[in-house]
Amino acid sequence: MSQELHRSVLLREAVDALVTDPGGFYIDGTFGRGGHSALILERLNESGRLLGVDKDPQAVEFARERFAGEQRFSIWHGSFADMDLAAADRAGRVTGILLDLGVSSPQLDQAERGFSFMQDGPLDMRMDTSRGISAADWVNSESEAELARVFKEYGEERFARRMAAAIVRRRAEKRFERTLDLAEVVKAANPAWEKGKHPATRVFQAIRIHINGELEDLQQALEKSLQLLAPGGRLVVISFHSLEDRMVKRFIRDKERGPQLPRGLPVRDSEIVKTVRAVGKAIKADTGEVGENVRSRSAVMRVAEKLG
């Protein structure tokens, strides 16, 4: 898929939920190829502002080209976990924050980025190619027990130990350097293939999440969103797998309930500090969008609003 054909998932649903004030200040924490950002800018008036954030240097370069001359837009290279640094002067005054999680279609489609088990490329998987350890270095150096833990915890892979053992046996003879090489070893170690799913899917997902610190970044971003948002400001999060969605769902639920105090404590419900309210129910892509973009099949969008 070319950059021009890249489709943002739940595009209108996300922007409809996010933009409540055309003159507000918004953060697109996962710029990608700018699909959501472009529609947000369409909804803003002359005083509205949008800050794009992305780990990927390619996405940052693309943003500067796509929105060159757009005075209402700026881009910041870094993780959304650090968006408080990018918007330090706006703390407590941000109107909306959008997080579209996971790997983007352009990243998957470029074999040289090393995310795909369907195309041969260097085993990299870093969203930010300017820093951090590559997937190859991690796979070739980590202990068997830690490989298995990551596959189980982040990939929910039931054959994690079997796959980790196969990787350790093979790397003793030859290092893993290419995506298809690793995919073939994992594939051979998987005794029960799921219909319609490549046998290496969960392992590649797990490695990507671990290498990029995705869940740790998400937890930080959720907490920091409360520091950044103004009262009435919206947090919109689109997740693509159950680990992310559970984290977002739990965060919204806990902040909506407020601190859970011991039973019998003489405190009125009105005295419990509640920081957000959930806006509507979880939203999924309709059949029309799934038919046009298979990636949207697993997407779940949740919206929360900061209370005053």
DSSP 66-134: HTTT-TTEEEEES-GGGHHHHTGGGTT-EEEEEEE-S--HHHHH-GGG---SSS--BS---SSTTSS--
Task: For residues 13-19, give the mean pLDDT.
Answer: 98
Span 107-163, pLDDT tens digits: 777 788 878 888 899 999 999 988 999 999 999 999 999 999 999 999 999 999 999
> Which pLDDT score is estimated for 116?
83
How far apart (Å, rounded) are the C-alpha atoms in residues 287 and 81?
32
Average per-residue pLDDT in the chain?
Answer: 92
Span 200-223, pLDDT tens digits: 999 999 999 999 999 999 999 999
- The answer to whether the pTM exceeds 0.85 is yes
- C-alpha 36 chain-centroid distance: 14
What is the percent of the chain where pLDDT is above 90?
Answer: 80
Q: Is the pLDDT of residue 302 over 90?
A: yes
pLDDT band at 5 (very low <50, low <70, confident <90, very high): very low
